[in-house]
Amino acid sequence: MLSFYGKQFSTVEINHSFYRMPKESVLLSWAASVPQGFRFALKANQKITHIQRLRNCEDTLKRFLEVASVLSDGDHLGPILVQVPPNFKFDKTLLEEFLGLKPPAFQFAFEVRHASWYTEETYAALRKHNVALCLAETETLAPPELLTADFTYVRLRKENYTTKELAAWKKRFDGWMGQGIDVFAYCKHEDEGKAPAYAKQILGK
């Protein structure tokens, strides 16, 4: 299945790592089944974001990144998605401390779900560390079209998209890529299997 997927698309978001980090051997087997340059975006483990809530998580984060780094061979490691809980409010000091733990070689995308984060202070901190603000669109949330890094991370989470809406996103992606910005975009996985069709429509396949 993954080898077939790898022939259709160039990246995938791994949600499993939020619940349990795959073993290095599993990551290597995934990498062996896709073309060189195919990127795996890994969701940061819940211990980092939901249990420790970014506090005193240096050892946990270090171990997570050590395992993830096995994907670097073959250029298979994509961004690390750091998604904080919906009730997690803006904390400037904590944000700065956490972002300071990011090794330069890794790409981080930061997804917030509380309105208090949408401030210039947040954006400035993300820019300082070259961390992308995750643009996660849902039925109730339209994120700011804001770039805070040399790449962007987009999650299209609505249940249904019209052709017009997908075309609008494609136009944004093309514009960003024209500026030299790498775009990592993922459609919501659901049982009806719409996500691959949406992704192909955006890619013009």
Please determine, for residue 3, whether its predicted confidence score (pLDDT) is greater than 80.
yes
CATH number given to 2-203: 3.20.20.410
Question: What residues contact residue 126 under an 8 Å CB cut-off, 6+ apart?
Answer: 99, 110, 132, 133, 148, 149
* Closest to 82 measured CA to CA, from 52, 39, 120: 52
Question: What residues contact residue 179 under an 8 Å CB cut-off, 6+ apart?
Answer: none
Show the beta-strand stretches assigned E in 16-76.
Answer: 39-43
Q: Give the model confidence (pLDDT) of 146-181 as tens digits.
A: 999 999 999 999 999 999 999 999 999 999 999 999
Query: In DSSP terms, which residues pair with 14 in a beta bridge?
Result: 42
Q: Give the model confidence (pLDDT) of 17-27 as tens digits.
A: 999 988 999 99
Query: In DSSP terms, which residues pair with 111 in a beta bridge?
Result: 83
Domains of the chain, residue spans: 2-203
Beta carbons of 146 and 111 less than 8 angstroms apart:
no
How many whole angstroms separate alpha carbon 71 and alpha carbon 29?
Answer: 10
